[in-house]
């Protein structure tokens, strides 16, 4: 089955079950002061979102490292869903009432994991990417994302204010794109992207567009500048000598 943006959004909503998780959140937050609860909820949602994004981008490598195929993932996901359904039909006996009230503020468990980003949600994003990896931006949007940050894997010296500076540059220009720049040289792979442009980007790629700079020029792009001395934060490590140079700079 080929998923669309709408079907992927509905599928993820059904699996994460935000309405069904309301009792879980209410019970888990009883020990949290009322004025802090909204922050805790936001934190847990962001953690779950980040985890699902991580699985979306590195999940395939994880599957290859574990020698797992897409078929085995589908079978494993079906088993998990069957066990969940079985517990819904035959619920276990409730624990003692005293054990239902948490004594501390929840962190990651049980709200971010497994309430929101459970095994089924992780398996779903992996399946979406494995079936259509070229539509990854659509799957990010289906999870509720509006902006995406990109960075090359061979640039280990990225600045600590990387995301904040890109966002500030984009916001000041009022555009939909921002790109990193150092020493007067632009770095197109290092940028902040409005996911709403995913359809236009896909159309450009299918039309044979090979220069990302030509595509970004059509939409207007802001630049966040960093100095290139004494260390270029966007230095590429492609050889053993580059790696040694980067290690020397870090020391």
The pLDDT tens digits for 19-36 are 888 888 888 898 889 899
CA 201 – CA 215 distance, rounded (Å): 8
Total domains in the chain come to 2
Whether residue 157 is found in the same domain as residue 240: yes
- On whether both 44 and 156 belong to a single domain, the answer is no
CA triple 113-114-119, angle to 5 deg: 110
The average confidence (pLDDT) of the chain is 83
pLDDT higher than 60, residue 100: no
Q: Domain ends where: 106, 141, 176?
A: 141
With a pLDDT cut of 70, the percent of the chain lying above it is: 91
pLDDT of 6 above 90: no
Answer yes or no: is pLDDT of 98 > 60. no
Strand duo 177-182 + 222-226: pairing: parallel
Residues 246, 9: Cα–Cα separation, whole Å? 42
pLDDT of 61-77, one tens digit each?
777 777 777 677 667 76
What are 194-235's pLDDT values in tens digits? 888 888 888 888 888 888 888 888 888 999 999 998 889 999
Judgement on whether residues 94 and 169 belong to the same structural domain of the protein: no
pLDDT confidence tier of residue 107, bands split at 50, 70 and 90: confident
**Same domain, yes or no: 64 and 135:** yes
**Of 228 and 142, more confident:** 228
75 three-state secondary structure: helix
- Beta-strand relationship, 147-150 and 185-194: antiparallel
Radius of gyration of the chain (CA): 22
What pTM does this model have? 0.60
Residue 139 in contact with residue 8, Cβ under 8 Å? yes
Per the structure, the complete domain to which residue 199 belongs is given by 147-250
Is the domain of 123 the same as that of 164?
Answer: no
Please say if the pLDDT value at position 99 is more than 70: no
């Amino acid at each position: 089955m080929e998923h669309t943006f709408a079907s992927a959004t509905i599928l993820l909503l059904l699996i994460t079950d935000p309405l069904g998780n309301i009792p879980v959140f209410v019970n888990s937050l009883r020990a949290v002061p009322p004025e802090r609860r909204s922050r805790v909820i936001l934190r847990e949602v962001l953690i779950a979102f980040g985890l699902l994004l991580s699985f979306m981008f590195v999940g395939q490598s994880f599957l290859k490292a574990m020698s797992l195929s897409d078929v085995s993932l589908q079978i494993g996901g079906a088993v998990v869903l069957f066990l969940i359904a079985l517990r819904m039909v035959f619920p276990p006996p409730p624990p003692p009432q005293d054990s239902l009230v948490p004594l501390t503020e929840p962190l990651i468990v049980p709200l971010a994991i497994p309430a929101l980003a459970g095994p089924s949600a992780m398996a779903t994003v992996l399946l979406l990417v494995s079936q259509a990896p070229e539509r990854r931006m659509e799957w990010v949007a289906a999870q509720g994302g509006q902006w995406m940050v990109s960075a090359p894997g061979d640039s280990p010296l990225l600045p600590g204010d990387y995301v904040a500076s890109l966002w500030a540059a984009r916001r000041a220009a009022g555009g939909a794109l921002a790109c990193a720049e150092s020493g007067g040289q632009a770095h197109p792979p290092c940028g902040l992207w409005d996911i709403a442009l995913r359809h236009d980007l896909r159309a450009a790629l299918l039309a044979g567009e090979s220069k990302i700079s030509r595509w970004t020029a059509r939409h207007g792009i802001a630049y966040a500048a960093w100095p290139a001395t004494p260390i270029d934060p966007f230095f590429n490590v492609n050889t053993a000598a580059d790696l040694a140079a980067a290690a020397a700079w870090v020391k």
